[in-house]
Amino acid sequence: MSIEAMEAKTAKHALQDKLESQIKTAEAKLDTLKARAEAVKANAEIKAIAELAVQKAEIHLKLQELKSAGEARWEHAKADLVQRIAAFEKALATIEAKVKAH
C-alpha cells in the first residue's frame, strides 16, 4: 500500500471517528431532552423526540454504510451522513429551545 493510500485511509478513519463522536454527542443530548420533556410533560416535544429516534436509527445505518463503502461510494455516503447529522442536530436544537421554554 502506498503512503498516499495509507494517508487517505487514515483520513477516512479520522472522519468516521469524528462523525461517530458527533452522533454520540447528539444522542446524549436527545436522552437529556427526553428526560426534561417528560419531566415538564411537554407532549409535543416528547412526540418530536420519538420521531428523532427513527432518524437516529437511520443515522446509525448510514454510518455503517460509510464504514463499508468502497472508494466509488465513500464520498456520497459521507455527504449523506453529514447532511443527516446536521438535520438531526438542528432538530435537537429546536426541541431543546421548546423544552427550555416550558
Per-residue model confidence as pLDDT tens digits over 1-33? 788 878 888 888 899 999 999 999 999 999 998
Residue 59: what pLDDT? 95
Residue 93: what pLDDT? 93
Whose cell is 485511509? That residue is 9
The structure's pTM equals 0.81
Give strand ranges (E) for the chain: none
Residue 51 has pLDDT above 80, yes or no: yes
Q: Return d(Cα 17, Cα 23) in angstroms, integer.
A: 10
Stronger pLDDT, 44 or 83, i.e. the higher one: 83
Residue 89: what pLDDT? 95
pLDDT, averaged across the chain: 90
Q: State how far the alpha carbon of 68 is from the alpha carbons of 16, 49, 77, in Å.
A: 11, 29, 10
